[in-house]
Structure 1
């Protein structure tokens, strides 16, 4: 019987590429997005997250095999906190019970190599505490200077997600239940999110100066999709709590021989 996967952010970018890849292999995909999806839901709100879980449960008949939490924003605004961190965590925690009936349950989220960049310590701490109102309030403060502190919002949410995976993956409800939970951290990917930044040779060069990708440069979404598909396949039996950088070498350039 074909596997059933749920992909958030399925209407564009990495989410869309992953959906197309899985469907091309004969798998069933329930796509979630704010438009053009099987389940239309706003992961920026508590009600939207609850509605998403309910709709997926109904669409799947109560059981799924894999969760791909891909949806995200890169705006210097509080909405990025709501969607990237709290929307992602709610997706994984809300859909986890639906994995119980699978012979090979799998789950992952998409972080970013931006987690290696400058972040806001206060916001990261509020994310770890699960305090959404306070985290949104902190993001409001940071957003007042979009080109400066506002840029810390995105990287902070991604650092928060990478740490969340590390702290949760070995727990009873994930590894203890036979569910590998991992994260993938892409470098610069040619998606609608980065389209304006890489539209010109000058823009691409400037961005690669910040995010060096010596191996083959900027990647297409399918590069990430292939890795996601393997991580959430039955073939992955033991990779647990890992944050895998598919970034053309950015992690290596920026962190050298550091292994953490």
Structure 2
């Protein structure tokens, strides 16, 4: 039976690669993005999130087999928190009732290996309280400082923790829905294009994000893992953050995870 998936951030990068991969396999995909998508809206806003839930219901009849919360931005600005965390959670929670109607429901969110880098603890705490206004205010303060670079990693650490905490609970594992995340390293997408535009820039970035296995990855490398996590074959992976990072996690954290 053909599966129906929702992919946010479907117009570029990892989201586009995921959509193209699934459609190439004959699956139905509802794409969500700011442009060039089935549903054109902004997940940084409450209105956009509500429109996404209603739009998916309208286009699918209220049954979805997999949700891929891929949409994300990396600007040193409050919008990064709004999309990367609150938009992702709204996507997963808003579409969960539609997943319950599937025979093999799956949910995956894209985090980042940036979650392993330094973060702003106050921003992470505000995010985890679910206080979007406070989180955006904290991000606004950081945006005007060199610490603005902490906003992206903070949003990704928070969403990784959300997945770990929610996945084993009644709403997800208890309902038969595997919920997991991936943490890409440096991926060749529009988001990273400027950072890897020259050999010098690429080398400098890989000093911070070491990728000893094959270096910078293509978006379809990540899409293939996402497709498996969102597929019927994945029956028991629960609450995992899988790093597709060419070895960054192993280099940076070593044995500390044990």
Task: Quickly name the TM-score band, shorter chain normalised.
Answer: over 0.9
* Corresponding pairs, count: 258
| Superposed displacement of residue 258, structure 1 | 2.2
Q: Structure 1 residue 19 and structure 2 residue 24: aligned?
A: no
SS of residue in 1 equivalent to 2:67: strand
Is the partner of 1:257 in helix, strand or coil? helix
Correspondence list, 1:146-225, <5 A: 148-225=146-223
CA distance in 2, matches of 1:73, 1:224: 17
- Cross-structure match for 1:69: 69
SS at match of 1:258: helix
Q: 1 CA distance for matches of 2:142 and 2:53?
A: 31
CA–CA distance in 1 between the matches of 2:257 and 2:120? 23
Measure the CA separation in 1 of the matches of 2:3 and 2:257: 34
| Cα displacement string for residues 106-160 of structure 1 (whole angstroms, at most 9, x for unaligned residues) | 0010000000001000000011100000000000000011xx2100000000000
Deviations 1:39-95 (A, max 9, x none): 111000001100111001100111110000000000000000101110000000000
How large is the Cα RMSD of the aligned pairs?
0.6
Task: Provide the residue aligned with 1:247 in structure 2.
Answer: 245
Unaligned runs of 5+ in 2: none
Runs of 4+ displaced beyond 2 Å: none
1:71-86 aligned within 5 A: 71-86=71-86
Distance in 2, Cα, partners of 1:255 & 1:233:
29
Looking at structure 2, the residues matched to 9 and 232 of structure 1 have their Cα atoms a distance apart, in angstroms, of 16
**Runs of 5+ in structure 1 lacking a partner?**
none
